[in-house]
Amino acid sequence: MPAHPPRGRRATERKGDVRERAILDTCEALLADKGYEAMTVGDIAQGAGITRGALYFYFGSKQEVVTALVARTVQHLWERSRATAASDDPRRAVAAAMRRTVELWNEHGLVMRTAIDLSLTVPEIGDLWRHTADLFIAAITAVLERAGVRPGTGPDQAAAMARALCWMIERSFYHASQESRDSLRRASATCEHIWLISAGLTP
């Protein structure tokens, strides 16, 4: 997706790419171990096997590291979901998009919840999350229109329904992912059912 890198990041050779990946992987592990507020730049650098000075070559702050981690995660989410949502069969598109979304929430639910929690206080993360939501709203709109829902922004038209579905899925997954994989699976099944009803694809 077209996301601008945080301040301080530079184009580097392959060794730099490996280090950057190590920084982001360490950040994700520390989110689980300590949480956003407690972890420090020093913690991230130590976990990645580099000095604080070396970390600042890639990122200017802890906030920038987390923003880059969120960007990487939502990029994976979009890559997994966009092709399946483009299927000519709306029912298959819904099922596949939900399945891919569940997979990523199972793998990176903590990052996704952190993005949601920080989206109101960290402008870069808020912009990134809203941009990602807009991409999914457009994809859901296209599925609804292929299923016969009228185009437009009226309450019973595709764009407005897609926006409501997108934010419903986000909230449902946010809460369910804190409980268990089974809770997430059930929440996904419910959201998928509501999406199919909205598209007129249930018997």
Predicted confidence band at 154 (pLDDT cuts at 50, 70, 90)? very high
Phi, psi angle pair for 56, to nearest 5°: -70, -15
Residue range 142-157: average pLDDT?
A: 95
Task: Kindly tell me the sign of the dihedral angle through the C-alpha atoms of 55, 56, 59, 63.
Answer: positive
In the predicted model, is pLDDT for residue 151 greater than 60? yes
Percent of the chain with pLDDT over 70: 89
The token pair that represents 112 in the structure block: 């996704």
Distance CA 90, CA 147 (A): 6
pTM of the model as a whole: 0.84
Predicted confidence band at 85 (pLDDT cuts at 50, 70, 90)? low
Domains recognised in the chain with CATH numbers: 14-62 (1.10.10.60), 63-198 (1.10.357.10)
Surface-to-core class of residue 112, CB atoms within 10 Å of its CB (0-12 exposed, 13-18 middle, 19+ buried): buried
Residue range 155-163: average pLDDT?
A: 97
Predicted confidence band at 76 (pLDDT cuts at 50, 70, 90)? confident
Query: pLDDT, tens digit, for every residue of 110-129?
Result: 999 999 999 999 999 999 99
